[in-house]
Amino acid sequence: MHAKSPVWEHVDEALKKQIALRRPAKKLRDRAIKIADRLEVEFPSAFCALDFKTPLQLLVATILSAQCTDARVNQVTPELFKVYRNAKDFAYAPEGELEEAIRPTGFFNNKAKAIRGAARSIVEDFGGKVPSAMEDLLMLRGTARKTANVVRMHAFGLPGISVDTHFMRIMQRLGFTSESAPEKIEADAAALLPPERWTRFTDAVILHGRKTCQSRSPKCAACCLADLCPSAGTFEK
């Protein structure tokens, strides 16, 4: 299924190897496709919730979003991006200045270190431009697979699955994974759908998690996936 996809060549080698180790049953793949179809109808405009205009802005915003709401990040970044316009600006921001600018997002000291480190690598190793290859993105400070996938998916239009807490919870509730490590959940989900559907599926799942399939009180009675979800009372195997 995946090898025939025209976007398969853009999937990083580490994920390809993980997908090759997984052989989900056809019944499971068929249910995943039905769920993806329904979520696309439910959330036709699903996209990244972080505001950005460039790959660098999205990278910075994604780093800031750790343990912070997207809404709060979007309040901070407009002024931030007026002051810091390129990777060099972030890389050599005076000590204390960047920290103060991102203070409202929490954990600002660690986030400032991550942003400076990533920006310096972009300047010194990638000519001042954010790379698009997964292997290169993972070389940047503060950039694990979740952040790298967000940048690839939404700044470069490449296939990816970004595993946040909403995505993790829903994949487990849907019975698509029993894993708890984000990298393994990413691979389990990727093995179910062709790569051209990964981004829209991820964005829709995250919105579904915020709106309906919430952590403490999932609204199963109002869920468009109830009959396809093992965690809901109406599911039939």
Told to judge if 164 belongs to the known catalytic residues of this protein, a careful annotator would answer yes
Residue owning tokens 């799942």: 205
Q: Is 53 a catalytic residue?
A: no
Residue 237 has, within 13 A of its CA and on its CB side, a CA count of 3
Decide if 129 contacts 122 (C-beta within 8 A): yes
Neighbours of 73 (CB within 10 A): 24
Residue 51 has which token pair? 């505001």
Kindly state the DSSP code that residue 120 receives in the 8-state scheme: H
Catalytic member of 164, 188, 203, 227: 164
Read off the tokens for 136.
């290169």
Q: Which are the contacts of 193, defined by CB distance < 8 A and separation ≥ 6? A: 29, 32, 33, 36, 201
Which of 63, 57, 53, 46 has the alpha carbon at shortest distance from 86? 57
- 89/4 Cα distance (integer angstroms): 43
The catalytic residue among 12, 111, 146, 203 is 146
Query: Phi/psi at 81 (nearest 5 deg)?
Result: -75, -15
The catalytic site residues sit at 146, 164
